[in-house]
Amino acid sequence: MTTTTAIAKADRRTVSGSTPGAARGPRRPGRIRRIGLPYLLLLPALVLELLVHLVPMVMGILMSFKALTRFSIRDWSAAPWSGFDNYKISVDINAPAGEALLHSFWVTCGFTVLSVGLCWLLGTATAIFLQDTFRGRGVLRTLFLVPYALPVYTAVITWAFMFQHDNGLVNHVLHDQLGLTDKPSFWLIGDNSFIALLTVSVWKGWPFAFLVVMAGLQNIPKELYEAAALDGAGMWQQIRRITLPSLRPVNQVLVLVLFLWTFNDFNTPYVLFGKAAPEAADLISIHVYQTTFATWNFGTGSAMSVLLLLFLLVVTGLYLLLTSRRRKTADV
């Protein structure tokens, strides 16, 4: 992420000799400014991240240990401690709340794996197919970015219209025109809602994968392809032996980012289904929102969010560990 040579140079200039980075005190008047400056530059970002992200997060963790009702929420810090009660409610899979949370967790996992996988697949295939110049390439490239550029709610509202039972395009095509279904299906309630959600999520998400992979392709030196062609490797072989392996570092970042965005996605189901999602598409973010704001179980909702954060932390940590190890062994 940072260029080590640049840091080394900066190091030589600002910190002369002694322990690196340890600003024990100014030796010359000019040094105060120099060492204070980076902190000064970081201050706005730091204050804002503290105010909007870190302090609320700490508050959220505290709230998860309290018995909060809609009456005690106004003065939440005075609410009584309830220890791990909220967590017990959340993870007790024999009780309704825990059972529903577990269900929602599995739905979210399935949804995330499918959505990220399909987005990656579509994005990579498109980037590779658009790597060479051909007539119409520029137009297609611009066109494919439209789903990414559309504001989430306008795109999802349009899909919601297409999935309407009586006046939607999907039922018109599947039932009226192709006759594939006996009667018009419901897409925004019942089991089909999972398919609807996945379709919208992939439609909206794949261009980001396309953008990132396209950027990654530009870093592959042309000589590699030329050498491979001289050795007699065909197009498909070049893709398998050169393009895909070269994309590995890009993919590692891409998959992680897609995973975090998809797993936490709130906007898509919220606009598609409204405040309460059907059971088959009850993503965890909507589920926690519902617990917190519709049934006013603020403490339990907070506990669920903390569990969600812990899960994301563990998965991200494991992922980073695995990918960095593989990178190291690949270097040897």
For residues 30-49, which are near another protein according to CB under 8 A?
34-35, 37-39, 41-42, 44-46, 48-49
Phi, psi values for residue 131, rounded to 5°: -70, -45
Angle between helix axes 192-217 and 96-129 (nearest 10 degrees) is: 40
Q: From the CB of 83, what's the least distance to another protein, in Å?
A: 20
List Cβ neighbours of 152 (8 Å cut-off, separation of 6 or more).
Answer: 204, 267, 268, 271
The answer to whether the beta carbons of residues 267 and 249 sit under 8 Å apart is: no
The dihedral through the CA atoms of 85, 86, 88, 92 has a sign that is positive
158-166 CB contacts, 8 Å cutoff, 24+ apart: 159/196, 159/199, 159/200, 159/203, 159/272, 160/188, 160/271, 160/272, 163/187, 163/188, 163/196, 163/272, 164/188
In the range 42-81, which residues lie near another protein by CB under 8 A?
42, 44-46, 48-49, 51-57, 59-60, 63, 73, 76
Nearer to another protein, 89 or 254 (CB): 254
In the range 292-331, which residues lie near another protein by CB under 8 A?
292-293, 298, 301-302, 305-306, 308-309, 312-313, 316
Nearer to another protein, 89 or 170 (CB): 170
Using CB under 8 A, which of 23, 67, 91, 100 touches another protein? 23
Under the binding rule (CB under 8 A), the answer on residue 166 touching another protein is yes
Under the binding rule (CB under 8 A), the answer on residue 195 touching another protein is no
CA angle, corner 126, sides to 123 and 128, nearest 5?
A: 105
The answer to whether the beta carbons of residues 301 and 314 sit under 8 Å apart is: no
In the range 258-297, which residues lie near another protein by CB under 8 A?
260, 264, 266-267, 270-271, 285, 288-289, 292-293
The contact pattern for another protein, residues 239-258, with x = CB under 8 A and - = no contact, is ----------xx--x---x-
Q: From the CB of 189, what's the least distance to another protein, in Å?
A: 16
Go through the chain and tell me how many residues it has.
332
Residue indicated by tokens 């791990």:
84
Q: From the CB of 285, what's the least distance to another protein, in Å?
A: 5
- Which three-class secondary structure state does DSSP give residue 66? strand
DSSP states along 72-98 = TSTTGGGSPB-TTHHHHHHH-TTSHHH
CA distance 272 to 82: 36
Under the binding rule (CB under 8 A), the answer on residue 163 touching another protein is no
CA distance 106 to 282: 10
Name the one range near another protein by CB under 8 A: 92-100, 110-118, 131-139, 322-330: 131-139
Closest C-alpha among 257, 219, 245, 221 to residue 120: 257
Under the binding rule (CB under 8 A), the answer on residue 205 touching another protein is no
Nearer to another protein, 40 or 94 (CB): 40
Nearer to another protein, 94 or 253 (CB): 253
Using CB under 8 A, which of 16, 17, 22, 78 touches another protein? 22
Using CB under 8 A, which of 102, 169, 198, 255 touches another protein? 169
Nearer to another protein, 80 or 151 (CB): 151
In the range 88-117, which residues lie near another protein by CB under 8 A?
none
The answer to whether the beta carbons of residues 174 and 181 sit under 8 Å apart is: yes
Using CB under 8 A, which of 31, 100, 148, 241 touches another protein? 148
Nearer to another protein, 106 or 161 (CB): 161
CA separation, residue 252 to residues 29, 88, 129, 218 (Å): 46, 35, 21, 17
Name the one range near another protein by CB under 8 A: 24-32, 88-96, 99-107, 144-152: 144-152
